[in-house]
């Protein structure tokens, strides 16, 4: 599968989040060419402000490792994180701590971005490969649709659901 295919799967998650009133950010974790974790924001459903898509996937990876007799510290460094929006400062720090292989994201996170707003790699003194701008417009459209709020009849909103 190609990068765009993986990003498409992340968008499936993001749209699912939007449909249930969550901030539309979706994520998949790719290991050895396969998606082994997928998630979206669950902040509202869980009333837990830390349940971002990336943390949902991190927990799935740990379960995957337990179920398959794998060591998480060997698996994370082979994982590509594909996420529709640049990880926030919290998630970026977590992904650096976990030493994932790379982060590939859609649009920048101008408010809380772990690279755009704060240079997390510099803070933690460790750089992993980060590539942004993949399907950025589509990612931003989803965010705009969410923050537009009470206007479900807008053309953009309709076409995205």
- For residue 135, which phi and psi values (nearest 5 degrees)? 60, 40
List the x/- string, 116-135, binding to its own copies by CB under 8 A. Answer: -xx-x--xxx----------
List the x/- string, 53-92, binding to its own copies by CB under 8 A. Answer: --x--x---x--x-----xxx--------------xxx--
Does 148 bind its own copies (CB under 8 A)? Our answer is no
Query: In terms of Cα–Cα distance, which of 89, 127, 85 is closest to 108?
Result: 85
The answer to whether the CB of 27 falls within 8 A of the CB of 81 is yes
Size of the site for its own copies (CB under 8 A): 28
- For residue 10, which phi and psi values (nearest 5 degrees)? -65, -35
Instruction: Find the shortest distance in angstroms from Cβ 16 to its own copies.
Output: 22
- For residue 33, which phi and psi values (nearest 5 degrees)? 85, 0
Query: In this structure, what token pair is assigned to residue 27?
Result: 């994520």
So which residues are the catalytic ones? 54
Residues 6+ apart with CB under 8 A from 20: 44, 45
User: Which residue, 35 or 117, has its beta carbon nearer to its own copies?
Assistant: 117
Interface with its own copies (CB under 8 A): 46-50, 55, 58, 62, 65, 71-73, 88-90, 93-94, 97-99, 111-112, 117-118, 120, 123-125
């Amino acid at each position: 599968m190609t990068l765009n295919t993986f990003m498409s799967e992340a968008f499936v998650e993001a749209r699912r989040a939007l449909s249930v009133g969550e901030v539309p950010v979706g994520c998949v974790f790719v290991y050895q060419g396969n998606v082994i974790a997928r998630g979206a924001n669950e902040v509202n459903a869980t009333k837990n402000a830390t349940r971002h898509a990336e943390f949902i996937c991190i927990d799935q990876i740990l379960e995957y490792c337990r179920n398959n007799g794998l060591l998480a510290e060997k698996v994370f460094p082979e994982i590509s994180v594909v996420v529709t929006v640049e990880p926030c400062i919290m998630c970026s720090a977590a992904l650096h701590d976990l030493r994932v292989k790379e982060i590939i994201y859609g649009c920048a996170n101008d408010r809380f971005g772990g690279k755009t707003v704060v240079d997390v790699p510099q803070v933690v003194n460790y750089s992993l490969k980060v590539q942004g701008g993949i399907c950025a417009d589509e990612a931003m459209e989803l965010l705009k649709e969410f923050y537009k709020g009470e206007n479900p009849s807008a053309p953009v909103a309709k076409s995205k659901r």
